[in-house]
Chains A and B, each alone.
Chain A
Amino acid sequence: MTTPLLELKDLQVAYGGIQAVKGIDLSVDQGELVCLIGANGAGKTTTLKGITGLQPIKSGKIHYAGEDITGKPAFQLVRKGLSMVPEGRGVFGALTIEENLAMGAYARDDRAAIKDDVERVFGLFPRLKERRKQTAGTLSGGEQQMLAMGRALMSRPKLLLLDEPSMGLAPLMVQKVFETVMAVSKEGVTILLIEQNAKLALEVSSRGYVMESGEITLQGKAKQLLSDPKVRAAYLGEAA
């Protein structure tokens, strides 16, 4: 068995005085699309913040690409190919769309290839190309999500962490976002997807983890989870 691209071992993270993540194990293999689902406040976002060093972790280990990255600050991780789209998108509202994309490539210095990648992102999201000189603050929520994903792709990530990409979006936009997630995954980017929209997340993923008040309560193949009566009852809104 090959070592996974990302592996969390007994990760514990405290957030605002409460233990939000109570020792979880999770792994993502090269090329996989894995989702982490759970209700609001289950500790999903805190898990991601722990991985990227945005939230100091209490104990446990994080391995990425065979390297111990526990406690490494976020700005060093991008250079290793680990990129994250934060919750609430986090676009730079006062910067133009082009500048936002340039920020995504901040850690790179291959100018010619960066130009190509900007065009690639514009190919993926033609809407952004039309508005390239506009500030990101003038975009709609869906467009900002596209920009945030485009910006993350600008770093040519090996592993992409997505935090609730569908949050607050209109159904049509949610569809578009998930199509993009699948397209990016097909290009060979490994993805760890965090979602409250369990049904859609499990439909696009190969494997899934279910998180409940800081612990992983279920895991397995996405198809099996989709048909698991407990998951159906708790997250897919069906009677048990």
Chain B
Amino acid sequence: MRRHIGFLLAALAVALLVYLGTAWIGNDYVYFAGYVVLQYVVLATAWNILGGYTGYVNFGSAAFFAVGVYTTVVIHKTLALPVPAILPLGGLLAGILGLGMGYLTLRLRGVFFSIATLALAIVLNSMIVNWSFVGGGRGAYVIRPREIAFFTSYVQYLFVLMLVLATLAVWIARMVERSRLGRGLAAIRDDELAAEAAGVPTLKLKLIATTLSGFMMGVAGVPLPYFVTYVEPSGTFSLGYAVNAMAMPLIGGTTSWLGPLIGALLLGTLQQVATVTLSATVNLLIVGILLVLFVTLAPDGILGLGRAIVRRVRRRDG
């Protein structure tokens, strides 16, 4: 545990440096762009707990994310709690959704889970469209407070919040990876039948991973309504979230916490640049092409490429 606390402190120190750096630039655009990139760090890290560690593909990241988003919309219209208080609630609901989905489909072959998650986003979408309280298909406006104590603007506040969430997400993922749970998940990924035979409680571990992954995705969605101030189903359920949450870990490397982080920072920043210089559609096309190229040509992602280079250099020297 002491090693994990050490890592958390180091990660928080890095986050503090990032904060000081952005505060020194002091431009709201940096907070806008930074928020989006950090949101992807949380989503990619959450996806990787199930996808990378366990080997189960979740196509429905947008659905879990949307649960968090619409939790905030409902709370905003009823209790009007502050964002940090909504975080656990949105996460919990998304986690329960993950548990339910997992319970229904994870006892069968893994591919059925993937197909079910793909359809899940579509069903949740039609439920939201039919639910007029949260704006239905027309969408809902969420007015954010004009100012907030200790911060220069509300966007800066949300940026710092997401920075903390991203740090915690990476910390949790690293902790899972190095725990008994992580070793059990890796055993499932490598050979589920053998793991089962060796006494690994596969269903239980898979359900824990699905719930945790769903929880983190839900949390990532909670601050979004205050960030965009206008929420509608087609934007919230956009395939962009699903493809990014999956492409980022696969491009970065799935077996370690570092992979999704690298993938999200790289691809997230690339998309921020491409959205400004090209268009949002072209930028999604780039993500799709990169995803296909990486899974076919570099199956272990950037981390795998890095390791291969290190190995080659060592061999030449030795």
Partners in one complex: no
